[in-house]
Amino acid sequence: MADKATVHITVNGQPHTSEVEPRLLLVHYLREHLGLTGTHVGCDTSQCGACTVHLDGQAVKSCTVFAVQADGSSVTTIEGIGAMGHLHPVQEGFWEMHGLQCGFCTPGMIMAAADLLNHNPNPSEEEIRHGLEGNYCRCTGYHNIVRAVQYAADKMSGKKSVGAAADD
Amino acid sequence: MAEKLMGKAMKRVEDPRFITGTGNYTDDMQVPGMVHAAMVRSPYAHAKIKSINAEAAKALPGVLAVITGQEMLDAGVKGIPTGWLHPGIKLPPHYAITPDKARHVGDIVAAVIAETRQTAEDAAALVEVDYEPLPAVSLGSKALEPGAPEVHAEAPGNLCFEWSIGDKEGTDALFERAYKTVKLNLRNNRLIPNAMEPRASLAQYAKASDEFTLWTTSQNPHIHRLLIAAFILGIPENKLRVIAPDVGGGFGSKIYQYPEEVIVLYAARKLGRPVKWTARRSESFVTDSHGRDHETVAEMAVDEHHKITAVRVHTVANMGAYLTTFAPAVPTYLYGCLLAGTYKTQKIFCQVRAPFTNTVPVDAYRGAGRPEATYLLERLVDVMAHELGEDPLEFRRKNFIQPEEFPYQTPVALVYDSGNYEVAMNKAMELVGYQELRRQQEELRKQGRYLGIGAITFLEACGLAPSALVGSLGAQAGQWESALVRVHPTGTVEVFTGSHSHGQGHETAFAQVVADELQIPVENVTLVHGDTGRMPYGWGSYGSRSAPVGLSAIVMASRKIVDKSKRIAAHLLEAAPEDIVHEDGKYMVKGVPEKAKTFFEIALQAHLAHNYPTDLEPGLEATHFYDPKNFVYPFGTHIAVVEVDPDTGRVKLLRYLSVDDCGPIVNPLIADGQIHGGVAQGLGQALLENAVYDDEGQLLSGNFLEYSIPRADDLVQIEHDHTVTPSPHNPLGIKGIGEAGTIASTAAVANAVLDALRPFGIVHLDMPYTAEKVWRAIQGAQKLPQAAD
């Protein structure tokens, strides 16, 4: 085995210093070293997006980043974006609009959608669909995911009051 | 009176854990002392294993064991059985690790156990297997040709079984005297389910008590326990606990008892350490059961009144290299028996030959047999309607089974419970604006734009039942379901169901119904599923059975609780049990509302038994094993609108509208979600998905780069509505909705694409309708569109 490397990574605001194999992927660092199992692994070709996290504020597929590449960086995972009682608007949108079924793609989908809204606060349906095409969902047919993101966009732009679910 | 929750679009109670990243999937689990397994898989589709040299692998620091098929055979581990038998079926052994030869790419030839997953995978790459490659066969019809490579010595000529249903002579006679016939050669493309969570298993063995625990990605943990304990490891069932925690989608692919589950259990006992295995996606592609893969000749006959008289079907259904748990049921009873569809066809004959090939085993994938039947039937109907110069929907209307004809005996065994097909079709036609669409289509064709309208009516059979019937057809399983409703002293309730949710929202929908039945707040109800250590035996979730069968069991058990509560209330209120009414969440003396007891007071007294009827057992819990009287038969009309770009061949979905009838709906949010997802998967088969094997049995579409599942920008917002025709034979009249979308949408989208291509004189193309395939077809078309008009 190659020599281990020391990395300093801030995850969800918490600084960590770890010894890692150079080949260790960021997603495995999060899941196995830090026990943050909300970030999922759904493929091995960087297609599915289940492992999406924010690296220094940008959405990345954490299966395409080595942990050593994240040295000195700040990572936000699904566990850090919001929690019950103070959900991120995208999390809230997924709950209100039934944007998930089995839940496996959901953390990555939420992180990708949050990033999409950071870049485009008022996306059209087409822009949402295009923006999320790097994240696979096998359960929902994306119908309610689109509605969840629209809900979050409305909420973040102040068009929607707290807890008011849109009609179908 | 408290608000009824049945029919209410309640947000799901399971969602908080999933949206905050605190779900608990099998691969998320860490237990002390846990080690990891990696599989050595055959790169050949068919190869003799001459020798295995594991020295280099074993020498790697951290490697604990390299397990071979021979070692497990010597230890008495048996093969994996199939759960459905047909007369004359060939049952060659299916060992978790193959000891003699590999029969498909991905077949396990050894397993490595090591301290870390990385080490296990490094070591797996160091295991030297000396293979002698053998000729392979991947296409079903080729496997049945004389001289084809033999997959199993136990199945000469590769024929696993042959099955037929219906009146052959009668059908042939109707074809002889038909007014018109049509015939299609169809390939139902092989699919790879690809639930987003890759399979995973974690086994633990407690030496002191000789007990195993297996956490695994299963839709039916009791079936796993039964097969592993009684048939494979030969251990008592009470020494094996199988837990399916949060499961990230199944779609059929997590029904089966898979080799890796046996391997981690065996290794855990051998090493005295918990052993975990998690599939990489590329492993999923070559090990998860595939779906569909039929080669079919389908024919339809009509009389001079344009009534369908006969349907004749000959299918080769590829079984893959081994039989998995329910594989033999899928292309037979779940396929041939569905060929009447919604139509009053006089005679049907269906013959199926099922060969072994050097491919991944094929079993149920969402819809399982019913999408294949619906696809061929609805293709035939469309082609026939066109031949007759009829509008395809009006031709369907002419042939519908009428509402007053239920229960309806089909010519292929099934008796439909209830239906009203025309109402659903009319609603769909109105909502989509059918006549206007047809007018637009004509207009656009003149401009060289090709709109396609694919409208289908469908029916499915779900909730296989009753058990005695299913057993007589070859099932080695019952098809009832269990429920245990347990009331705690404070009146809160746990409901244990044999159904399993892997995304379907049982924790919410089932709790809604229990809250209604017991007239208690829904937050006082917790649903428990997926653990053989906690609930009565159950058969799990597949075939859209959770609501019609699993929930029916829960309703019956809940009603037993109400009955017992009335007796306790009667005692407390000094009244006769028959005078107690259950209203507004209270048990009260009829006409004397001030004489009432709350559920809490009854639950408490049931546990204290201080002031209690002498002839009644204390405690308040009820179990019910519900065996339905018949299948249930959801139906509907789905309409897809596509546009084909003649320059590129690209198919663009413009609209998708569904009108479904699954009887009364528990939670419309969840039911509609099932439709959305089902439609997407069926559309995937029609437009994108295709498992391609080359002649040597190499899977050419072995990862997401080569196998395309629908993405967000492949879909549109789905327009949907419902009609409600209750089933007459279960307590809520529920019919099931899990597979309807998939069963309908493949055929609807296929018909839409071929409708768009009609001006080119293209009658049929096999799925998927990729841009390349459609472009080539247009280029090769005999007819110029102008000539068509």
Q: What is the pLDDT of residues B396-406, one digit of tens each?
A: 999 999 999 99
CB B384 within 8 A of CB B393: no
Cα–Cα distance measured from residue B18 to residue B543, given in angstroms and rounded to the nearest whole number: 25
* Closest listed residue to residue B556, CA positions, set B734, B354, B691, B378: B734
Q: Between chains, do A94 and B195 touch, taking CB under 8 Å as contact?
A: no
Which residues, 6 or more positions from B472, have their beta carbon under 8 angstroms from its beta carbon? none
Helix and strand totals (H; E) in chain B: 21, 28
Please report, for residues A20, A64, B35, B63, B127, the alpha-carbon distance to residue A2 in angstroms, rounded to integers and kept in the order given.
10, 19, 21, 17, 21
* Closest listed residue to residue A15, CA positions, set A7, A23, A25, A27: A7
B505 min Cα distance to partner chain A (Å): 7
Phi-psi region of B451 (alpha: psi -120 to 50; beta: other; left: phi over 0): beta
Q: Between chains, do A45 and B282 touch, taking CB under 8 Å as contact?
A: yes
- Is the pLDDT assigned to residue B783 strictly greater than 70? no
B738 touches chain A (CB under 8 A): no
Say how many residues make up chain A: 168
Instruction: State the Cα angle at B148 between B147 and B153, rounded to 5°.
Output: 95
The confidence score (pLDDT) of residue B703 equals: 95
Cβ contacts of B670 on chain A, cutoff 8 Å = 98
- Tens digits of per-residue pLDDT, B651-676? 999 999 999 999 999 999 999 999 99
In what helix (H) or strand (E) does residue B438 lie, and over which residues does it extend? helix B434-446
Say how many residues make up chain B: 789
CB B511 within 8 A of CB B469: no
Domain architecture of chain A: domains with CATH:
5-81 (3.10.20.30), 89-156 (1.10.150.120)
Rounded to 10 degrees, the C-alpha dihedral B225/B229/B230/B234 comes to: 170
Cβ contacts of B741 on chain A, cutoff 8 Å = 141
Query: Please, which pLDDT band fits residue B160 given cuts at 50, 70 and 90?
Result: very high
Cα–Cα distance measured from residue B211 to residue B192, given in angstroms and rounded to the nearest whole number: 35
Domain architecture of chain B: domains with CATH:
35-134+197-248+254-287 (3.90.1170.50), 294-464+630-788 (3.30.365.10), 480-626 (3.30.365.10)
- Tens digits of per-residue pLDDT, B16-70? 999 999 999 999 999 999 999 999 999 999 999 999 999 999 999 999 999 999 9
- Tens digits of per-residue pLDDT, B84-129? 999 999 999 999 999 999 999 999 999 999 999 999 999 999 999 9
Cβ contacts of A165 on chain B, cutoff 8 Å = 11
Residues 20-79 in A contacting B (C-alpha not used; CB under 8 Å): 21, 23, 31, 35-45, 47-48, 50, 77-79
In three-state secondary structure terms, B373 is: helix
Query: Please, which pLDDT band fits residue A119 given cuts at 50, 70 and 90?
Result: very high
Cα–Cα distance measured from residue B563 to residue B577, given in angstroms and rounded to the nearest whole number: 9
Place of tokens 């020798």: B51
Phi-psi region of A116 (alpha: psi -120 to 50; beta: other; left: phi over 0): alpha
The confidence score (pLDDT) of residue A165 equals: 44
The confidence score (pLDDT) of residue B788 equals: 43
B775's tokens: 């472009």
B382's tokens: 């469309």
Place of tokens 């959901």: A106
CB B501 within 8 A of CB B637: no
Please report, for residues A6, B16, B80, B245, B684, the alpha-carbon distance to residue B26 in angstroms, rounded to integers and kept in the order given.
30, 18, 22, 6, 27
The confidence score (pLDDT) of residue A161 equals: 58
- Tens digits of per-residue pLDDT, B286-326? 999 999 999 999 999 999 999 999 999 999 999 999 999 89
A4 min Cα distance to partner chain B (Å): 14
Please report, for residues A76, B196, B704, the alpha-carbon distance to residue A64 in angstroms, rounded to integers and kept in the order given.
16, 18, 15
Please report, for residues B410, B469, B744, the alpha-carbon distance to residue B414 in angstroms, rounded to integers and kept in the order given.
6, 11, 19
